Amino acid sequence: MTLWLVLGAVLIAGWFSNRYAWWRRQVDPRHPRVLMYHMVSPHRPGAKFNGLRVTPEHFEAQLAWLQREGWQFFTVSELWEQWDTLPAKSVALTFDDGYADNLHNALPLLEKYDARATIYMVVDRHERDWSTAKKAHHNTGELAREPKLSDEELQRLVASGRIEIGSHTLTHINLRTTATDDKRRELAESRRLLQAQTGQAVTSFAYPFGIYGEEDVALAREAGYTTAVTTLDGIDTRTPCPDPLQLKRIKVSGKDNMLAFVMRMRGGKRGWKK
């Protein structure tokens, strides 16, 4: 019995350490954080992608904690433009894809906590289940059915003055499996269309699925982007400066509780990742 208790305690300790990474050294708060979100919406019973859904209650708790702890909000472009002079505790919130709840659920909370964010838009986003471009067996249609921002709703986000619009390509392609000319068109044309639609200078990009290579960084630069975010876990240092077209992000999962969020803000990564 004692042996089983010891084994159980070891397993629980290992699970806790991997989930919360309490042992990871705190990254100096002078180094800015970039957070990655997708949706702000309730979970759906049995849904495959609830990890992409941060509930409104959890999102508000996270914003309240950030405000209470003295974090200052920036868009990604603002963050890079001020990189050398940023105050300690600088954070950029980012949202990928262009879901309708970014307007209906996230924006009111951003306004409540005087926060700003960057939303990376897929231009041709309606009724697309782009998850299959990464893994063919993800053909549930769940993301295709998820409401996306209409053009009018996108205008309302821009009019709020709190949102920077970035590009996430025309159709959320897999850059690894796409021909160079098609990639070039997806990056350049999505930027042109979003600029025409929003009246903003679209200078930030997010690599779909976080899949990219050296050629894609060069194509992003060629298309006129000055910043690009990845799905690489972590926190970039102020000095030496990172490559602004390969910025790391802290992934915020809908399955994380508040302790997990705080610990990821502290160390930048989940579990045993290097």
> Looking at residue 266, what is its pLDDT?
95
Residue matched to tokens 């397993």 = 11
Model-level pTM? Answer: 0.91
How many C-beta neighbours within 10 Å does residue 152 have? 8
pLDDT score, position 19: 58
Tokens 């390969």: give the residue. Answer: 246
221 near 245, Cβ under 8 Å?
A: yes
Structure tokens at 260: 């997990």
SS (H, E, C) the chain: CHHHHHHHHHHHHHHHHHHHCCCCCCCCCCCCEEEEECEECCCCCCCCCHHHEECHHHHHHHHHHHHHCCCEEECHHHHHHCHHHCCCCEEEEEEEECECHHHHHHHHHHHHCCCCEEEEECCCCCCCCHHHHCCCCCCCCHHHHCCECCHHHHHHHHHCCCEEEEECCCCCCCHHHCCHHHHHHHHHHHHHHHHHHHCCCCCEEECHHHCCCHHHHHHHHHCCCCEEEEEEECCCCCCCCCCCCCEEEEECCCCCCHHHHHHHHHHCCCCCCC
Closest CA to 96 of 185, 178, 167, 182: 167
Could you tell me the two tokens for 154?
A: 């996108």
pLDDT of amino acid 4: 67
Instruction: Report the phi/psi class of residue 103: left, alpha or beta, with left for phi > 0 and alpha for psi in -120 to 50.
Output: alpha
- Domains (ranges, CATH) in the chain? 29-267 (3.20.20.370)
CA distance linking residue 78 with residue 86, whole number of Å: 10
Whole-angstrom distance, CA of residue 182 vs CA of residue 49 = 28
Q: Along the chain (274 residues), what's the average pLDDT of each consecutive run of 10 residues?
A: 65 56 77 98 93 98 98 98 97 98 98 98 89 68 92 97 98 96 98 97 97 98 98 95 97 95 90 60
Put residue 99 in one of left, alpha, beta given phi > 0 → left and psi -120 to 50 → alpha: beta
